[in-house]
Amino acid sequence: MNKVGNVGNCIVTASGKYFDLFDPEPYMVDLFDIATGLSNQCRYVGQCPFYSVAEHCVHGLQYCERVGVDPRHWLLHDAHEAYTGDMSRPLKLLLRSFTTQFDTICDRVQYAILRRFSMDGVGHTSDIKTVDNMLLKAEKRFLFPSDQTDWHGFDSIPDCEPTFRRWVPEEAFAQFMRAAESLKL
């Protein structure tokens, strides 16, 4: 039964398109919508000064060659979050047995995004996770400077020192779109 305002499994996007979360297709994917969604979402479920997912994705580009990651895959590694939102890593771990359906939806959305940009379905490799963890380590130092707690697994993660700016959403959007254009997405 549909509730008022609900259009099946669809969300309306910034471009005015409807995106079906249950049955996503490449034609539903729009780079404008991805950049808009990611530039407006704060990492760490908003529990830090504003730092967008889009900025995180742009900063990681400088480490792709070092780790052997396709920069197109990296820029879009969190693109599904533009449509699904995100769940914090600790919550995912706590709810692991309950998140299977959420993960399946995210995987379907990510696969549609990769197909839209004529990329293979190998979007979440261990190399992408390495860059993600490198940034996580650097973001912890930048966003939570007074936190002296050791976050699990940082000893084996290579250091990186991006120049964080904490872009406002409009700047994050512009930087993400410039990066996408340079990568010919």
How far is residue 128's CA from residue 73's CA, in Å, rounded to a whole number?
8
Cα–Cα distance between 147 and 78 in angstroms, integer? 26
Quote the pTM value: 0.91
- Is 158 inside a domain boundary? yes
Q: Is the dihedral of CA 64, 65, 68, 71 positive or negative?
A: positive
Q: What is the domain extent for residue 167?
A: 30-182
CA-to-CA dists, residue 130 to 5, 6, 124, angstroms: 40, 38, 10
> pLDDT tens, position by position, for the chain (185 residues)?
445 556 788 999 999 999 999 999 999 999 999 999 999 999 999 999 999 999 999 999 999 988 889 999 999 999 999 999 988 878 877 877 666 788 888 889 999 999 999 997 655 577 898 999 999 999 999 999 999 998 888 888 888 989 999 999 999 999 999 999 999 99
> Does a structural domain hold residue 150?
yes
Rounded to the nearest 5 degrees, what angle is found at the Cα of 53, between the Cα atoms of 48 and 59? 100
Which residues are registered as beta bridge partners of 10? 7, 20
Q: CATH number of the domain at 34, please.
A: 1.10.3210.10
Number of domains in the chain: 1
Residue 79: count of CB within 10 angstroms of its CB: 30
Residue 55 forms part of a structural domain: yes
Task: Classify residue 65: in a domain, yes or no.
Answer: yes
